[in-house]
Amino acid sequence: MIILGIETSCDETAAAVVDDEGVIRGELVLSQIEAHRPFGGVVPEIAARNHVAHLDRLIVETMDEAGATFPELDCVAATAGPGLIGGLLVGVMTAKAIAAVHALPFLAINHLEAHALVPRMLAPIAFPYLVLLISGGHCQLLIANGVGSYSRLGTTIDDAVGEAFDKTAKMLGLDYPGGPAIEAAACGGDPARFKLPRPLINRAGADFSFSGLKTAVRHTIHRLPDAPTATDAKDIAAAFQIAVGDVLCNRTANAMQMFSERTGKMTGNLVVAGGVAANQYLGDRLKQTASDAGFQVVVPPPALCTDNAAMIAWAGIERRRAGFSGDPLDTIALARWPLDPVSARPGAKA
Ligand code: KG4
Ligand code: ZN
């Protein structure tokens, strides 16, 4: 079985051809970072226009690299949500067109499910497992019970953690995207010089909140006599990163307990996915928290943690294997599409 996957939900235009043994036969990811850098964040309109400009060529080149022709595909899978609607429409319409022309099944993939399932492309990780999804658009903890079956334990009540990294970096005059810039700046910074809050820490449940932390960073910067110096930026970045680490570890510790209560399993795998999972400091903290609770952390390699199309194709493989034949061609893209049992699949009536 080989599947073409298409990802256009945010600022990466990506295509990949993956087989059912988890081999990536061809893959291209075009980052739009340069297009959004002047704005310090993703501009939805610019993102959608870039997807339109590049997706067709990217798919042709990916198919060439894979040495595959469209009729040889088992099906075409595209991210149908959640994400920026303009970009989602570009990917979904392109996938539907290929599927219609070549009489192939079309699969509408949930981007969150793709992040959650991709570690299984590399190793036989058995269900159920716990997923911490930390990216620019999402911050949630869920149990992956099986393909198409997820229980959300907690989510952010305001900003995503990656967004907090990006906004903090912008306030400090650091580069975009903010995550890697903050991580680099925090190295050698004094985390004790500034006090920052840890929203929701030690509260029951596994929800997150980051807007108060972001506001506290803004106030800290405003209290400085001048614009932040390089040393100020390093110290604030260090304080911010530790605060995020404390919050993520505290919420994840609660989620591991909830996982054990719900599944009866006292140990398990904690999959950490999304762009923020590339952060070495946070990864080390989470490993420690997990091992204290008898859990093992699984972090996919960075190229599979950040947005990519191999994970979309792989989610397609998993869905086909689980018996899903395909989605109708009048399936719509959804900007909001929560990943839990009560959320409906996107469909004609959605
Ligand atoms: O998963 P992703 O590529 O795109 C989505 O948001 O879906 O994640 C991008 C986010 C950005 O907010 C970026 O700043 C953050 O991941 N990020 C990091 C690091 N590398 C990327 N955050 C913290 N530390 C990093 N090293
Ligand atoms: Zn993502």
Among candidate residues 61, 60, 98, 63, the one with its CA nearest the CA of residue 78: 98
| Secondary structure (3-state) at 168 | helix
288 lies in the same domain as 276: yes
Could you tell me the pLDDT band of residue 341, with boundaries at 50, 70 and 90?
low
Q: Which residue has a Cα nearest atom 3 of ligand 1?
A: 306
Ligand 1 center to residue 114 CA distance, Å? 16
DSSP state of 125: P
Q: Where are the beta strands (DSSP E) in the chain?
A: 2-7, 12-19, 24-31, 75-81, 106-110, 129-134, 139-146, 149-155, 268-273, 295-298
Could you tell me the pLDDT band of residue 342, with boundaries at 50, 70 and 90?
low
DSSP state of 14: E
Say if 88 falls within a structural domain. Answer: yes
| Secondary structure (3-state) at 28 | strand
Could you tell me the pLDDT band of residue 176, with boundaries at 50, 70 and 90?
confident
On the question of pLDDT at 9 being above 60, the answer is yes
312 lies in the same domain as 192: no
Among candidate residues 138, 113, 120, the one with its CA nearest the CA of residue 269: 120
234 lies in the same domain as 322: no
Q: Which residue has a Cα nearest atom 8 of ligand 1?
A: 275
Alpha carbon distance 32, 292 (integer Å): 39
- The per-residue pLDDT for range 99-147, each reduced to its tens digit, is 999 999 999 999 999 999 999 999 999 999 999 999 998 999 999 999 9
Ligand 1 center to residue 83 CA distance, Å? 15
253 lies in the same domain as 273: yes
The pick from 36, 131, 276, 286 for probing ligand 1's pocket by mutation, whose C-beta has the most ligand atoms within 8 angstroms, reads 276
Say if 331 falls within a structural domain. Answer: yes
Say if 349 falls within a structural domain. Answer: no
**Atom of ligand 1 lying closest to residue 305 CA:** 1
Alpha carbon distance 316, 109 (integer Å): 7
181 lies in the same domain as 105: no
Alpha carbons within 13 A on the beta-carbon side of 160: 20
Give strand pairing partners of 43: none
Q: Which tokens in the block code for residue 39?
A: 């704005």
DSSP state of 31: E
281 lies in the same domain as 323: no
CATH, residue 159: 3.30.420.40
Torsion over CA: 128, 130, 134, 138 (sign): positive
85 lies in the same domain as 106: yes
190 lies in the same domain as 264: yes
- Cβ atoms of 157 and 145 within 8 Å: the answer is no
Nearest ligand to the CA atom of 134: 1
Say if 348 falls within a structural domain. Answer: no
* Domain housing 232: 127-299
Say if 288 falls within a structural domain. Answer: yes
Say if 13 falls within a structural domain. Answer: yes
Ligand 2 center to residue 226 CA distance, Å? 36
Residue 337 CA, distance from chain mean position: 14
Cβ within 8 Å of residue 133, ≥6 positions away: 112, 115, 116, 139, 140, 141, 142, 273, 274
276 lies in the same domain as 314: no
What is the domain count for the chain? Answer: 2
Say if 55 falls within a structural domain. Answer: yes
Ligand 2 center to residue 7 CA distance, Å? 9
159 lies in the same domain as 242: yes
Angle in degrees, 0-180, between the axes of helices 230-263 and 161-171, rounded to the nearest 10: 170
pTM (two decimals): 0.92
- The per-residue pLDDT for range 216-274, each reduced to its tens digit, is 999 999 999 999 999 999 999 999 999 999 999 999 999 999 999 999 999 999 999 99
253 lies in the same domain as 132: yes
96 lies in the same domain as 242: no
Say if 167 falls within a structural domain. Answer: yes
- The per-residue pLDDT for range 142-172, each reduced to its tens digit, is 999 999 999 999 999 999 999 999 999 999 9
